[in-house]
Structure formats: structure tokens, C-alpha cells
Chains A and B, each alone.
Chain A
Amino acid sequence: MRNPVATAIAIAVGLTILAGYFIPLGILTNVRTYLLDWAIGLAGMASLVAIINLLMVHARKVRDQREPDRYSIFLILAFLATFIAGIVLGPASSVFHNIITSIQIPIEASLMAVLAISLTYASLRLFKRRKGWMAVLFVVSTVVFLIIGSGFLTFGSQVPLLRELLGAINMLPIAGARGILLGIALGGLTTGLRILLGADRPYSG
């Protein structure tokens, strides 16, 4: 074992948090609360470290002798402007809010619109690039759920058979999503057990 102390600490913290779920003891709750607060503080510091790392990476790209990345300059400038505005004006400032709502929302909304057009165009040429049953299934499911999601078949609720059919079709994504969630839950449980048992030590580097 490379770092037994870290592993022991990780296992002890995990068992304490887990015990706090099942054992309603005040000390365990307090301990869990303190540990979670430390984790939140560490997560904030990790976000700050990530922001600093992001600035350094883009700074290196700007200073690159062979292929300097000119667009990284805009990122760095936007960050500095937002950071300075946030510190100076504060996050609750209406000016600062307008920066978010007037710049970020239209940009991201535009990207979503371009994505919609690109996906539609790609769907047109789907059978040119890829052929097979999976492509057919993808196209059929996409078309069906587009139609159902559009509400175009709301009149079908009047028809008993069609209503039952639409209800069954609507249950298909729910069934698939539940399977996905179950898989995620089992995966999370397994990962937690492995960490508690010391099998996985992502903290050891």
C-alpha cells in the first residue's frame, strides 16, 4: 500500500458519514457536518485552483512560440473583466447581472440554435454516412418522439387505441431512463464500497 495513512483517513471518514445516515447520534451528525463543511471548503478551493490552472494553461498557449493561440487572449481578458467586475461591483449588482444575461445567455442560446440546425442537417445525411439497423432505429425513434413531443398527436387522445399506444410509447423513454438510473445507483454503491474497503484509492494519486 502506497499511502496507508491517507487510506485509513478516507475509510474512517467514509464510515463515519455512512454511519451518520443510519445512526441518529448527535456526535455523528456533528462530525458529519464538520466533515462536509471541510469538503465544501476544499471543493471551493479546488474550484479556485481550477480557475488558476485554466488561466495558466491559456497563458501558455498565448506564449507558445510555434502555434500561439490567439483566442486564449480573449478568454483571459473575459475572465479578468468578469473577475474584476465581480469583485468591484459584486455578484448582486444589476450591471453584473446584465453581463450574464446580455452576453452569456444569448451566446449559449445561439449555440443551442446552431446545434439544433446542425443536428437536423446531420439527420438528413444520416443514411449517406451510416447504414444499418441502428441508423434506421435511431431515425425512427427520433421522428416518433419528435412528433410526440411536439404535441401534434394530442388529438389521438380521443382515440382509445391511439391513446394507449401513445401512452406506451411515452413509457419507453421512462423505462430506459430508469434502467440508466438503476445502473448509476449500482455503480455508485459499488464505488462507495470499494472506497470504503480501500480497493480504490483515488486520493493516493
Chain B
Amino acid sequence: MADIRCSNCQTLNPADATLCKNCGQPLLDESISWLDDLRGGSESAAWEETETAAKANQEAQPNEDIPEWLQRIRQRSQTEPEKTGQVSPTEGSTENQNDWLSNVQQTATDSAASSAPSADDDWLQSLRSSKAPVGDEPSGTLVSSLDRLSSEETQADLPDWMANLEPLKSGAEEKPDELLSASSTDWASRFGEEEPPTGTPGAPVDDTQDWLSRFSQPTDGLNSEPGANEDWLAGLQAATGSLAGANDAEISPAGEETDWMSSLRNPDLPGEAQLASLKSEESSTGEKESLSWESELPADLPVQEQTAETADWLKKFDSDEPPSNEDQSISPIDSERSGETPDWLSSISDQETEQPAAPVEGEPSIEPGDESQAVPAESVPDWLKNYTPDEKPEPPVEPVAPISEEPQEAGFSWQSLSIPAEASLVNNDESDELSPFATANLPDWLNQEDNGSPRLPYDEQLIPQPDSTGSSGGQSPFTGSDLGEWLDESSLATPAIPAGGSQPATGGDQPLEAAEMPTWLQSMRPIEMVAPKQTPTEEKHVEKAGPLAGLTGVLPTEDLVGQYIKPPIYSVKLRVSEKQRVHASLIESLISDETQAQLIPADRGETPRRILRILVAVLLMLVIILPMLNLLPALPASDILPQELVAFEQIMSDESILAQGSPVLLAVEYEPGLSGEMQTASEAVIKQLSNRGIRLTIIATSPTGPILAQSLIEKAGYQSDQVVNLGYLAGGSTGLQSFSMAPAQAAPATLQGALASWNKGVLAGVSSLKDFAAVIVLTDDPDKGRNWVEQVQPALASKPLLMISSAQAAPLLLPYYNSGQVKGIITGISGAAGYEGLIQSKGTATLLRTPYQYAMLLTALLILVGGLVSSIITSIARGKAEKEA
């Protein structure tokens, strides 16, 4: 078991330690979880998590799940295809060759020996097995295959790395010895070993590399079920095509883009030195077609700088690396440290999008459509060109020394990718198999190499088959809870780990590092990843009866409880604006005021009011009675009489108007209730007419008028032969109109029921109203007085119309006096008293004037005093109420 090197203080700690014994730094790496899976992919727990996450993300689209950093890599690789580095991959020594390449050779040899299906297949074994059907090739070398492929493909369609591969191949043919020496490197040797259809049986194979077996499965001629295919690489390809034209500015720094790539560069890889030697040869020959990524490899870059450029989680990788050569390998992966996508990756991406794999004619051993074979020779890297078909499989690389023995400055090796020491002890190739292919950014040239089915998409080709030679039990180390969906999709198709214990060795005692996704990657995760998903229950349902008994998930079952969704609660609250709310509150306040019982002031009782009423009545009666008893002095009469009164007296005293014995029409238009005032007011006038022998004709439009007139005449002592009472004139104003036109027809009978003797007796000489010397109207109603003015007065011609009215009707009749329609008016008792004063007689009016005046004054005084007292009492009560409040 390898120790764990603290990323902080670089102190070696036991494998089971979780905290650094020196600095206390947590030893669990918080790096990307897919690398955790990469490192600890053999642990069952990790695989279980991977499965769970894969199922949860099953619905996600693979094309949308490509991490942005990978897309940027592709974009950059496309936009900078021509960019070359300063360092050639051949400049390094052969020791600097990558382990993964050597593992290719070793695995090819080992897996050839154990071609039978077993649970020990690793990814390189799968890679080898993928070439097994292609065993018809004479040499079986990769270079030869590529060469043949290049002959079939056009040069323009091939990626750069394949183009570089062509001179590499040619160079290998020219210098077989050098190639042989170069093939001594792990990675190159594995390529060479890959060609033979057979390998060393029973070679230990790490199950942690089973993910790579997917690459070979489609080419193995095994059944590739489309439904079980995982398109994590297909998504990668699609994203490459879609993002081909992306802006270069979007490319993130090297530290973000190619962390895994940079982590992969490790000078400790056994084959790096050999690869470097190959590169040096290529550079010495002056070939300028070296791979751009090779040229970009910072071969001289010290380890310190590499550590600074890489992320923390990669630093941990570095710390776990076994010691290797000091000269940093110039491997293809090292070019990724520069943050620039190598050309071989970009070219692959372009080729994937532009040209599907075309079948290679004349190559029966090669599956049609195998893009790896379709790669032109120009795209083949130099280091791969040096690979010769004659090279023989190298023995397995020695196990990597324990990490504890590695110096801190040791370069990166693939064992550092948390490959358990136990697994590495079993087979050194297993540790080497944790190559950059194990990541999502696996170079497609390897993928193309295995892809022999052109009709199938890449994802279908890469998806491991459950029953393919028993190697399907391996799961991709990318499958992890923190992997993106594009990676999780691949894990979905990964069959369950066989019970045979083909799971990748993890060391057992070393705990898995915390599966935490970096924040930048979390932010890029789709929502479907984050949103909780309900685990489908169909798969867990086991049929218990019927022909399907014992089968799981055959029939879709519905979890009613799980499908139950609480019905949405719709709010019935009315949306009311502020203005409407104000109005509603106003209405509410109004209604509340109406509904509230009004406070009724306490009744002080009827007694005080009754006493007050009696008191007022007593005072008025006393004021009226006392003057009449001469107990109160009489008030002086006014010297100034109203003009209407004076005019009335002038007409009455005018002998030319009211001559002795002339007929006068007297209209009695008052009610019995006011007969006391009207009789008093008209008493003096009636006496004056009587004294002057005036023939009096009485008529009334009121039913009681003729009787009141009869009473008035009798009271005045009028002789009955000088008076004719025509009685009641019906019709109101209409009757007056008719009477004014034809008095004899309108009032043909007297009150006694006899026919009126017009032009006879009292009515002698009277056939119309204008025959009367004067018309005197006694009225207490202004309307009746108006009717007489309006209906009768025009028929009187120049004869005067006089009125004796009550005090309350006088104001409305005075205008007719001012207009000349009425020649004189006597108003009430005061007017009658004045008229009596004018005619120098003392009648009832003079007698009642003093009590009348006192009553009027007392009434005015009571109103004033009462008003003041009421105001004072109210003010006092209000003041008390305010004080109490």
C-alpha cells in the first residue's frame, strides 16, 4: 500500500491516514471526482455511486453534458492547429516515454495471451482484443495499420497527428534498429504487442481499466447493443463539431483546460524516455512535420513550474507519483500542460465532425469505418511513426516503486492517479493503464483505432457490452457521482460488476477521497444534474406471480404514492389595489356607522317641556288679557300709516268712486279659523259702507265664505235689503273667469236658493263686474287674492279693486298694490286699527291693537331669550363634554 503524500507539506503519510501527520492537512483530495473514480474506481462503493449517478442522469442529453473545459480544448485545438511547440517529443530520452504507451504494448501482449473472456480484462486488454479480429494483418503493428489506413484516406481529410504518423512510419522503416530501441519503451512496445492476435495468457489485468475495453468492444465483433451504448464519447465528438467555430477567447487558461492532461505528463513514466529519444531522432532528421503538441511540450519545464500550473488535485497526483527520471518526459500529454490543445486532438475532433469513418477497402482485417485506420500517415505522430511492426512485446514493466520511496520531485506517473498499490503489484500494466485515455479527454486517435464499425456512432462503439468476453464487468473510472452527465451516460450502459471480483483493485484500506466537484464544474452542470430526481421504481420491482415471476423491472409499475402530487392550492385571495382597498374601508366605515346604535340622549322628561309650554301660553294670555283690562299701558299708535292703507281710505272716502247707494262687490275669501282677524280688519270698512248706503253683493269661492259674510254683515248691522249674497262660486279661478265675463250666468242664484235678480234690487244696473263701483276682497289666502287680481281685475276696467287681507297674506298682495292692480290694502289688525284711526273711529281693531302689540313683542322676546339660553346651555354642555374627553 502506497503512502499518501501530503499536498501541503509533501510529507508521506500512511495510506489509511486522513490527515497529514505533519501539518494536519486533509489528505483526501478534493479534486474532481471523476479523477477520484479514476483513482479509486476499483472500489465497489465508488462504482455503486457511479451507477446511481448514472441512473439519475440517464435522461440527460449526452451532447449537452460535455464539460466546457473539454469544449474549449477542442475549440482551441481547432483554432490553433498549426501552432507548434519548441520542443519535439523526440527530444526527450526514451525513459521519458509515457507509461500509458508502454502499457499499450504490454497489455497487447498480455491480453493476447489471455484472449479468453475473463473478468481481468483491462482497458488495454480490451484495446488489444479490439485488434484481435484484425489479426489478419500480417504484422499486426499499429504502424502498419495506420499506414494502410493512410493509403486509403485522402491526405486532406486526415488529422495532423495522423499525418505526422506517416513520416514516423517511414522513419521506422528506414531505421528499424532505432525503432526497436524505441519500442523498448512501454507505450511503444504495447503498441507493438497489440498487433499480435494472441498474447500472454493469464496476464494480470486490472479491472480498473475496463473502461478502455469499450473502445475495443465494437471492433471485437461482439454484439453491440445500441440500447446499451453510452455516448459519452459520442457527445464529446458532437460537441467537438458544434464547438468547432467557437471563439478562441473563450478558451480558458491552461490550468482549467488541461488539468488532466497536465497531470498526465509525468516524467516518471517508463516509456517517456524512449519516446523522447524517438522525438530526438525525429528532430535530428530535420523533419518539420512533427506534431504540434510535441513541439509544445515543455520538456525542460521543471517540476516546480508544473506543480504551480496544475491544480491542487493534480498536485496530489504529483505527490503520489513514483520517482522517475528527472528529465521531464516529452510525451503527448505534456503538451497539454501548456494549456493548448494539441493538434492531434484538434484534428481528431475535426475529422470526427467532418468525415465519418469510411470503410477501408482491401483491408479485411480492419473494420470498415474504423477511423483510426482512416487516419492518414501525415497525421501519425512522429513518436508513433518510429514504431515498427517488427518490435516485439516487451516484458511487463516493473512495478512502480512505492510512492513512499519516490522523491518529492518525482514526475508524474499514471500510478499516481490513485491506482492502488495492490493493483500495481499485481500487474504493472494496470497501473500504467490509468493513462490519459482513462479520462473523458481521451484522445480520439486511440478511440479511432478501436473503432471499426463506421455505421455505429462512437458512443455505441465505446460502450462495453455486458457479455463481451467477460470483460464487460469493468466500469469506466469516469463514472462517479461528480462526473458530468456525458460521462455518467457511459456508466449507465456499463453492466454491473461481475461478482467475480473483477473490480479494480483499490487497495481496500485506503479510503476513497471525497467526491467533490470543483465549483467551476458545478456551475457548469446542467440543472438536471442538480435537481433531485426520483429513482425509478420499475427496476426495483420484482414480479412475484405469473410467467414473469422473478423478473425485475419487466413490467412498468406505477408507484402511486410516488406519483401522488399534492394538488396545487390556488389562492382565493382577491387582488385588490390600494385604491380599491381605501374605498372598501370607506364603505365599511360607513356601514359600520349605520349599523351601530346611535346614542340617544337621555330624556329629561316631559314635565319640564310641558311646564315651559304652559308658561309660554300663560305669558301670552296675560300679555293679551292685561292690556285689554287696561292693566298694561297702551302703546302709542304709529303716525305713519302704510300707503296701501291710506290709498284704501282715500278710495273709500272718495264720493266719486263710492257714491251713496252704489253697488259694491264684496268677496269673502277667508276661512273660519281666521275669521276673528278678518272680521276685525274689515269691521270698520263694512260699517263705513253700511253708513254710506252702499249696495253690497256678496260672493265667495270658498264654501264657508257666504256664511261668514252673512255673519260679518249681521255683525256690522247691515240691512238685508241692501245686501245680496250670491253664495258659493264653484270652479275656483275658472269660476272667477266665468264670473268676470258673465256674472249673471256664473252666479245666477243667491245663498237662499233664489234666483239672483240682476239688474234688479240690489243688483240694479249691474250686469257685469264693471258695473260695480268697487270690488272689495276679504282674503287670508294670497292665492285667492291673486285669482281675483288675475281673473276679475281686468274685467273691472277702471273700477278699483280693494283688498282686506290678513297679516300673513299681505306681503304677497302688496306687489299688486305696487303694480296698480289693487288700489288699496288693509293689512290685519294693525292696518284696521290704522284705518280706524284714519276714519276716526274706535272699533275692535283699536281695542285689540295693544294686546296684539304686546303679544308680538312677547313672542319676539321669548324667541330671543330662548335662543340665548339654549346657546348658553349647549355651550356649557359642550365644554363639559370636552373636559371629560
Chain A residues proximal to chain B, CB less than 8 Å = 29, 32-33, 36-37, 39-41, 43-44, 47, 90-92, 96-97, 100-101, 104-105, 107-109, 111-112, 116-118, 120-121, 123-128, 131, 139, 142-143, 146-147, 149-152, 154-155, 157-158, 163, 170, 173-174, 176-178, 180-181, 184
| Cβ 8 A contact of A149, one of B735, B830, B863, B869 | B830
Q: Which of B200-208, B214-222, B344-352, B668-676 contacts A (4 or more CB under 8 A)?
A: B668-676
Are A40 and B734 in contact (CB-based, < 8 A)? yes
Q: Is the CB of B814 within 8 A of A127?
A: no
For B614-642 the 0/1 string (1 means CB < 8 A from A) is 00110010000000000000011111101
Known A109-B676, A111-B673, A123-B863: A151·B741 in contact at CB below 8 Å: no
Contact pick for B730, options A44, A117, A127, A176, CB 8 Å: A44
Q: Are A181 and B731 in contact (CB under 8 A)?
A: no
| Cα–Cα distance between A168 and B879 once the two chains are bound (Å) | 41
Contact of B672 among A37, A100, A142 (CB under 8 A): A100
Q: Are A125 and B866 in contact (CB under 8 A)?
A: yes
Chain B residues with CB under 8 Å of A139's CB are 863-864, 867
Whether A146 pairs with B856 at a CB distance below 8 angstroms is yes
Give the residues in chain A near B870, CB-CB below 8 Å. 124-128
Interface residues of B in 741-756 (CB under 8 A from A): 741-742, 745-746, 750-753
User: What is the minimal beta-carbon distance from A120 to any residue of chain B, in angstroms?
Assistant: 5
Known contacts A44-B731, A105-B676, then 11 further A-B pairs from the complex at CB < 8 Å, ordered by chain A residue? A36-B734, A36-B738, A39-B731, A92-B725, A108-B672, A121-B613, A127-B870, A146-B857, A151-B635, A151-B833, A173-B811
Which residue of chain A has its CB nearest to the CB of B753? A90
* Nearest CB on A from B645, distance (A): 12
Contact yes or no, B815 A178, CB < 8 A: yes
- The DSSP consensus for interface residues of chain B is helix
Q: Tell me if A100 and B708 are in contact (CB < 8 A).
A: yes
Contact of A120 among B671, B673, B813, B862 (CB under 8 A): B862
B857, A152: Cβ atoms under 8 Å?
yes
Q: Are B811 and A155 in contact (CB under 8 A)?
A: no
**Considering the chains assembled together, what is the distance between the CA atoms of A142 and B636 in angstroms?**
22
**A174: nearest residue on chain B (CB-CB)?**
B814
* B745:A37 contact, CB within 8 angstroms: yes
Select from chain B the residue with minimum beta-carbon distance to A42.
B731
Asked if B745 and A126 make an inter-chain contact with CB atoms under 8 angstroms apart, the answer reads: no
What are the residues of chain A within 8 A of B154 when measuring CB–CB?
A: none
Partner of A157, one of B617, B640, B742, B859: B640
Interface set, chain B 709-742, CB cutoff 8 A to A: 710-711, 725, 727, 729-732, 734-735, 737-738, 741-742
Partner of B707 from the list A97, A123, A126 (CB cut-off 8 Å) is A97
- In angstroms, Cα B864 to Cα A111, docked, is 25
Q: With a CB–CB cut-off of 8 A, which chain A residues contact B737?
A: 36
B592-632 contacts to A (CB < 8 Å): 612-613, 616-617, 620
Interface of chain B residues 628 through 674 with chain A (CB within 8 A) = 635-640, 642, 671-674
B41 at the interface (CB under 8 A from A): no
Q: Is the C-beta of B874 less than 8 angstroms from some C-beta in chain A?
A: yes
A117 & B616 in contact (Cβ 8 Å cutoff)? yes
Whether B807 sits at the interface, judged by CB under 8 Å, is: yes
Interface contact B674-A112, CB-CB below 8 Å: yes
B867: A residues at CB distance < 8 A: 123-124, 126-127, 139
Q: Is the CB of A120 within 8 A of B616?
A: yes
How many angstroms between the C-alpha atoms of A79 and B568 in the bound complex? 82
Complex contact B672–A104 (CB within 8 A)? yes
Question: What would be 19 A-B contacts, judged by CB atoms less than 8 Å apart?
Answer: A32-B741, A36-B734, A37-B745, A37-B746, A39-B738, A40-B734, A104-B704, A124-B869, A126-B866, A127-B870, A128-B870, A139-B867, A142-B863, A150-B855, A151-B637, A152-B635, A154-B639, A157-B639, A174-B811
Candidate in A101, A107, A173 with the most chain B CB atoms within 10 angstroms:
A101
Q: Max chain A CB contacts within 10 Å: which of B706, B833, B853?
A: B853
Contact with A along B794-825 (1 / 0, CB 8 A): 00000000000001000111110010000000
**A97 touching B710 by the CB < 8 A rule?**
yes
Which residues of A sit under 8 angstroms from B735, Cβ to Cβ? 36, 40, 43
**A9 nearest CB across to chain B (Å):** 16
Query: In the complex, how many angstroms separate the beta carbon of A46 from the nearest chain B beta carbon?
Result: 9
B711: nearest chain-A partner, CB-CB: A101
CB pair A105–B874 under 8 Å, yes or no, is no
Interface flag for B191 (CB, 8 Å): no
Residues of A within 8 A of B131 (CB): none
- Determine if A124 and B811 form an interchain contact, defined as CB atoms under 8 angstroms apart: no
In the complex, chain A residues whose CB is within 8 Å of the CB of B741: 29, 32-33, 36
A188 CB, nearest partner CB in chain B, Å: 9
Instruction: Say whether A91 contacts B866, CB under 8 Å.
Output: no
Q: Which of A47, A117, A125 has the most CB of B within 10 A?
A: A117
Within 8 A of A (CB), among B76-127: none
Residues of A with C-beta under 8 A to B731: 36, 39-40, 43-44
Question: In the complex, which residues of chain A have a beta carbon less than 8 angstroms from the beta carbon of B752?
Answer: 90-92
Residues of B contacting A124 with CB < 8 Å? Answer: 612, 616, 862-863, 865-867, 869-870
How near does chain B come to A158, taking the closest CB pair, in angstroms? 7
**What are the residues of chain A within 8 A of B866 when measuring CB–CB?**
123-127
Which residues of B737-791 are within 8 A (CB) of A? Answer: 737-738, 741-742, 745-746, 750-753, 782, 786
Confirm or deny: B852 has a beta carbon within 8 angstroms of a beta carbon on chain A. yes
- Tell me the smallest distance from the CB of A175 to a CB of chain B, in Å: 9
Enumerate chain B residues within 8 angstroms of A117, measured Cβ to Cβ. Answer: 613, 616-617, 620
Instruction: Please tell me the number of chain B residues within 8 Å of chain A, measured between CB atoms.
Output: 74
A29 to B740, CA, bound (A): 12
CA distance A160 to B863 in the complex (A): 29
Pick from B612, B675, B871: contact of A109, CB below 8 A: B675
Instruction: Determine if B860 is an interface residue (Cβ-Cβ < 8 Å).
Output: yes
Distance from A129 Cβ to chain B, minimum over Cβ atoms (Å): 9
Judge if B849 is at the interface, Cβ distance under 8 Å: yes
Residue numbers in A under 8 Å from B830 (CB-CB): 149-151
Q: How far is the CA of A112 from the CA of B786 in the complex (A)?
A: 23
Contact status B818-A97, CB under 8 Å: no
Q: How far is it, in angstroms, between the C-alpha of A91 and the C-alpha of B675 when the chains are bound?
A: 18
**Cβ contacts under 8 Å, A128 to chain B:** 870, 873-874
A108 and B745 form a contact (CB under 8 A): no
Contact of B638 among A39, A154, A181 (CB under 8 A): A154
Question: A91-B707, A124-B863 are contacts. A105–B639 as well, Cβ < 8 Å?
Answer: no
Q: How far is the CA of A149 from the CA of B642 in the complex (A)?
A: 12
User: In the complex the two chains form, is A100's CB within 8 Å of B707's CB?
Assistant: yes
Q: Which of A47, A109, A149, A158 contacts B673 (CB 8 A)?
A: A109
CB distance from A30 to the nearest CB of B (A): 10
Chain B residues, CB < 8 A from A111: 673
Report Cα–Cα, A33/B745, bound state, in Å. Answer: 9
Cα A14 to Cα B828 with chains together (Å): 38
A181 to B822, CA, bound (A): 15
Chain A residues contacting B738 (CB-CB under 8 Å) are 33, 36-37, 39-40
Q: Which residue of A lies closest to B715 (CB)?
A: A101
Chain A residue, CB-CB nearest to B833: A151
Option from A121, A149, A177 in Cβ contact (under 8 Å) with B616: A121
> Closest 7 CB pairs between A and B?
A154-B638, A108-B673, A124-B866, A150-B856, A40-B731, A173-B811, A157-B640
Closest B residue to A36 using CB positions? B738
Partner of B812, one of A47, A96, A120, A180: A180
The answer for the CA separation of A170 and B825 in the assembled complex, in Å, is 15
CB-CB nearest in chain A for B620: A117
B-chain residues with CB within 8 Å of residue A90 when the two chains form the complex: 752-753
Contact of A142 among B616, B811, B860 (CB under 8 A): B860
Contact A43 B859 (CB under 8 A): no
User: In the complex, A96→B707 CA distance in Å?
Assistant: 9
Are A40 and B746 in contact, with the CB atoms below 8 A?
yes
Bound-state CA distance A41–B735 (Å) is 10
Most chain B CB within 10 A, of A112, A147, A154, is at: A154
A181–B148 Cα distance when bound, in Å, is 131
**Is A120 a contact of B853 with CB atoms below 8 Å?**
no
- In residues 827-885 of chain B, which contact A (Cβ within 8 Å)? 828, 830, 833, 849, 852-857, 859-860, 862-867, 869-871, 873-874
